[in-house]
Amino acid sequence: MAHLCDCLCLLADIGTASCIRLGEVRFVAVGVILQMCSIVCEAVRLALVQILLQGTGVKLNPITTMCHISPACFAFLAVACLWWEVPKLMQGSIGISAWVLLASAVTAFCE
C-alpha cells in the first residue's frame, strides 16, 4: 500500500511539473503566502485542540471537542466571508453565480 501511495505522489508531481512546464500554471506569490499562512493556522488550531484535550481539568473526547470548536470556527469564517466575499458576490465580480455556490455547498454538506 505504501508503494502505491508513493507512485501516486510521484504521478501527481510529474503532472504538476508538466503543467508548469507547458505554461498552464502561473505562479502567484500572494497565493503561495496565503497557502502557507493557512497551513500554519491549521497547525496552530490542531495544537490548541490537542492541548485542550490533554488539559488537566478538561476531559473531552474528540467529538465533543469538535462540537465546541466548530461553531467558533464558523463564526470567525462567517465574519471574514461577509466582509470580503459577499460584496464581490453581490457585484458579480467573482464570475460564479450565487446559486452555483449554494448548490455546491449543499452537495458538500449532504455527502
pLDDT per residue, tens digit, the chain (111 aa), is 667 777 777 887 787 777 777 776 677 889 889 999 999 988 888 888 777 777 766 676 777 777 877 888 889 888 988 888 888 777 776 677 778 778 888 887 775
The per-residue pLDDT for 7 is 79
pTM higher than the cut 0.85: no
Cα separation, 68 vs 65, whole angstroms: 5
Burial of 53 per CB tally in 10 Å (0-12, 13-18, 19+) = middle
CA-based nearest residue to 5, from 13, 63, 82, 34: 13
Task: Name the helix (H) or strand (E) containing 70.
Answer: helix 62-80
> What 3-state DSSP class applies to 69?
helix
Cα separation, 102 vs 7, whole angstroms: 36
The per-residue pLDDT for 86 is 80
The per-residue pLDDT for 33 is 92
Cell numbers placing 63: 467529538
Asked if residue 25 lies in contact with residue 15, where contact means CB atoms within 8 angstroms, the answer is: no
| Sign of the CA dihedral with 28 first, then 29, 30, and 35 last | positive
